[in-house]
Structure 1
Amino acid sequence: MSRLVQGGRRLLDLGVRNRDFAQDRRLRILNAVAVLAALISLLYCSFYAVYDWRHFWREIAFLPLMALLYTSVLYFTRLGRATFAMWYLVSVALFHLGVISWMLGPESGSLSYLLIVPFVLALLMGENDRFSVWPIAVAVGVLFVLVSLSVQSGSITSLPQRVQIWIFLVNSFGAIFLSCVVAVFFRWLIQVTESELDAERRRSDRLLHAILPGSVVPQLKADRRKVIAQDIPGATAVFADIVGFTGWALRTPPDEVVAELNRIFSRIDKLCGNRKLEKIKTIGDAYFAVCGAPDEMPEHAERVADFALDLMAEAENWDSATLPKLRFRIAIASGPMVAGVIGRTKFAYDVWGNTINLASRIEEHCNPGEILISAATDAALPVRFVREAKGPFDIRDQGPTELFRLISRTEKKGRALEARPASP
């Protein structure tokens, strides 16, 4: 049974590329209707053959040919030619139903199947199709009238009255049943499509939340053309650069380099999440994050200082056969900055301003295993952080700048610790 279901599913999916939901739905409907029409044609052919093959010899010769033509629709859907297959199926159906109704006579009720043609075509038509369903509906009406008014006697007129009634009822209710089957199948396809679209939407949301701050995503989804920019009066930026990584990477196979860097940055991502920092990007082997943007965070300097000390502790306890020793240079600066989303197809949340430039320049003066902070960050830190003054540095594009080294944290409370001068 499972093999039969799998085979039926493969038959319905002929030509489906999983690229365009509307196109895939059209192909599945075409495949289903073509198979149903072929099976019904063979079923009627079998009935006529069993009942009286001499009386219905024309129908018995005609119906297998129609079943073959319906089956040939699958060849075109397999090639992905949905539009051609649609009009080919409509043409075959009109020819089939017109001829068979003329053979059997209007009393047979086979004309009822004609009404399904515009109904199925309406389900198949897309918004961008240049043709309308109304010409086909008119053609069906004309064909219906012509066959109904035909004076020629059909095959069933010479049959007993009871048999004529049964054939009329079978054709009439068969047309209703087939319409219901197609409608239910179409509704099932819509539900499947909606489920796939919902899954795709959730996946897109996850991707957006992975690359953009949570508070920015709703703004971007509401209007992708909107310029998302923010003036941040106070936030803290941090750069963490891996010491000696470039030289190590030159001596190491690429797959090991990428795997190790991914492992390191994954750990940093977790530390960022724990301290509620916003990762901005990675630049080579450097990690750039901020706190206080886009969402205001009063204790932004404190959270970044905790993050930096957590990262140093992580480096001390690093265990890896590939990169046995892990050390960082960490630079921190606090102050105003501008934040926003750039890009139209590839979105990126970024921050700019002198505070970012200062943090980047401070990193150039860091020693391996050292955390340097700006004077603004030092002033914003509470008493539990131990710092020492490093003296003024001639920072590129900044001039003489007072920097401090973040040493550790304590649980002491009271007045702020005075900055101690650097040891000679």
Structure 2
Amino acid sequence: MFKAALQTWIWSGINKASSEDFNPTRITNIIALLCISVSSLHVPIVLYFVAQSGYQELLLIIVSASLLTLVPLLNRFKAYLISKLFLIIVFATYILISCLIRQENLNIQYFFLLAVVICPFLFKETESGLMFIITLSFFLLFVGFEFWFYYSSVNTLSFHQQIVKVSCSISFALSCLLCGYHIRRIINHNWQKLSIERERSERLLLNILPSSIAQRLKNSPDLIADYFEQASILFADIQDFTPLCKDLSPRQLVNLLNEVFCVFDSITKKYGLEKIKTNGDGYMVAGGLPIISASHAVQCCLCALDMQDAFKDICKKHNLHTGLRIGIGCGEVIAGIIGKSKFSYDLWGEAVNLASRMESHGLCHKIQVTESTYNITKNCFYFDKRGSIQAKGLGWINTYWLVSRKHKIGNTCTRKITLI
């Protein structure tokens, strides 16, 4: 229970799932907790010397500790700047009153220099002006108390020793100020590098997983497995790709596939589909997941037609005598993350098997679809009936060739598509 309460205090006001830099807020909560802890350690000493202004110091500790408990509460309500300023004011007031109560040089003022060093950790780069004012204020408070103690107390040191003592104190304070400035610059530089690396890792993750799945994976380590009652799957494969490999150098082959798949990526993105994976010269796309869409079948058909046209242009450009086989299937799908290393977002189910068979049993330059896909999209496209084919593992199934768009795809067409 104590550990849970401690974690709640430290992470108060921080969204762990956010990509924002939350270090200043977390450090504010930690420093408030440390101030309460250090102040509490003084309670036995204060009680022991209760006759010598002990009651005043005990009251100061109780009031300060009580006020500091508001710091994480302010952060929880997103009052981040107010929380930092409140912490600084309570801390400065506590040290100031402690010095005034004692009326003698007990080196309590050196806690002001501690604040000079810590302040850079509390503020973001956009708050550097305010940070500089507060840091300079702590520095001046320290110097002011040094001179006040020097003039208000009886000194047994020689004049030369007094000058050396004061100059050393001021030099030490200046060193802390410069160290605070240097720490500030290092922190800003490291935060910028961290932000760049975070953005880079986010982009890499989004290249592997759908954005919604990537966000879920970051928020929770739980297994991701979703069921979709109706989705569309598209498989595209280059005809006679293996013989083609023999005529191309490794660099030419990779450049060709990269060009083809980059074009396919743009088409997939254009129609709001989700690229699942590539396998050699195969390309797999899904519609209606991970975000459910009623127009998944139409989107896949549009994507397939554009892929055929784009691949014909690439073949003409590179003088290639090949074509594309595309298969589309609709049905139930299970989607999830598999693996611990090099994990991937993959699909299983009826639609996947159907689409795979549509592609493998298809013909070059043709788009073969299942009867369910035909029934959903027949008002939007022209089809030629192929008839029944025997698909491995599925038996005899009716299939159709997708020929072209029937008319401009718009709201009239998509309204007719409903989830089964």
Shift of 1:277: 0.9
- Asked if 1:204 corresponds to 2:201, the answer is yes
C-alpha distance in 1, partners of 2:384/2:315?
30
Unaligned runs of at least 5 residues, structure 2? 1-106, 119-156, 414-420
C-alpha distance in 2, partners of 1:194/1:324?
50
The aligned amino acid for 1:402 is N
The aligned amino acid for 1:333 is G
Provide the residue aligned with 2:267 in structure 1: 271
Query: Structure 1 residues 183 and 204, CA, compared in 2 at 3 Å: closer, same or farther?
Result: same
C-alpha distance in 2, partners of 1:242/1:201?
37
Matches within 5 A, 1:34-183: 163-183=160-180
C-alpha distance in 2, partners of 1:315/1:277?
18
Secondary structure of 1:182's counterpart equals helix
C-alpha distance in 2, partners of 1:325/1:251?
12
Shift of 1:320: 6.3
C-alpha contact (below 8 Å) 1:318/1:325 kept by paired residues: no
Query: Structure 1 residues 350 and 323, CA, compared in 2 at 3 Å: closer, same or farther?
Result: farther
Map Cα deviations across residues 93-112 of structure 1 (whole Å, 9 max, x no partner). xxxxxxxxxxxxxxxxxxx9
- Greater radius of gyration (CA): 1
The aligned amino acid for 2:187 is I
1:405 to 394, 401, 406: 401
- Asked if 1:214 corresponds to 2:206, the answer is no
C-alpha contact (below 8 Å) 1:302/1:382 kept by paired residues: no
Secondary structure of 1:366's counterpart equals coil
Map Cα deviations across residues 369-408 of structure 1 (whole Å, 9 max, x no partner). 0110001101110423110111111110001111111111
C-alpha contact (below 8 Å) 2:332/2:349 kept by paired residues: yes
Secondary structure of 1:194's counterpart equals helix
Provide the residue aligned with 1:395 in structure 2: 391
Map Cα deviations across residues 174-218 of structure 1 (whole Å, 9 max, x no partner). 111112222222232222222222222222221222211122122
Shift of 1:286: 0.6
Query: Structure 1 residues 323 and 211, CA, compared in 2 at 3 Å: closer, same or farther?
Result: farther
2:314 to 311, 318, 336: 318
C-alpha distance in 1, partners of 2:392/2:402?
21
C-alpha distance in 2, partners of 1:382/1:389?
11
C-alpha distance in 1, partners of 2:274/2:292?
12
Q: In the comparison of the two structures, how many residue pairs are matched?
A: 263
Provide the residue aligned with 1:307 in structure 2: 303
Shift of 1:170: 2.8
C-alpha contact (below 8 Å) 2:367/2:402 kept by paired residues: yes
Secondary structure of 2:257's counterpart equals helix
C-alpha contact (below 8 Å) 2:323/2:365 kept by paired residues: yes
C-alpha distance in 2, partners of 1:403/1:321?
32
Shift of 1:173: 1.3
Secondary structure of 2:284's counterpart equals strand
Map Cα deviations across residues 28-84 of structure 1 (whole Å, 9 max, x no partner). xxxxxxxxxxxxxxxxxxxxxxxxxxxxxxxxxxxxxxxxxxxxxxxxxxxxxxxxx
The aligned amino acid for 2:386 is K
Map Cα deviations across residues 273-316 of structure 1 (whole Å, 9 max, x no partner). 01111000001001001101111110111110111111111123
C-alpha distance in 1, partners of 2:159/2:378?
99
- Asked if 1:194 corresponds to 2:191, the answer is yes
C-alpha contact (below 8 Å) 2:260/2:311 kept by paired residues: no
Provide the residue aligned with 1:93 in structure 2: none
The aligned amino acid for 2:391 is I
Shift of 1:162: 5.7
Query: Percent of aligned positions with the same letter in both sequences?
Result: 30
- Asked if 1:295 corresponds to 2:291, the answer is yes
C-alpha distance in 1, partners of 2:341/2:359?
32
With structure 2 as the length reference, what TM-score do the two structures score? 0.58
C-alpha distance in 1, partners of 2:389/2:368?
11
1:359 to 352, 355, 363: 355
C-alpha distance in 2, partners of 1:163/1:322?
89
C-alpha distance in 1, partners of 2:334/2:248?
39
C-alpha distance in 1, partners of 2:275/2:320?
26
Provide the residue aligned with 2:230 in structure 1: 234
Secondary structure of 1:344's counterpart equals coil
C-alpha distance in 2, partners of 1:385/1:352?
27
C-alpha contact (below 8 Å) 1:337/1:353 kept by paired residues: yes
Shift of 1:163: 4.9
Shift of 1:367: 1.1
C-alpha distance in 2, partners of 1:326/1:409?
24
Provide the residue aligned with 2:370 in structure 1: 374
Secondary structure of 1:169's counterpart equals helix
Shift of 1:323: 5.2
Map Cα deviations across residues 327-350 of structure 1 (whole Å, 9 max, x no partner). 200011101110112233433111
Provide the residue aligned with 1:333 in structure 2: 329
C-alpha distance in 1, partners of 2:290/2:336?
8
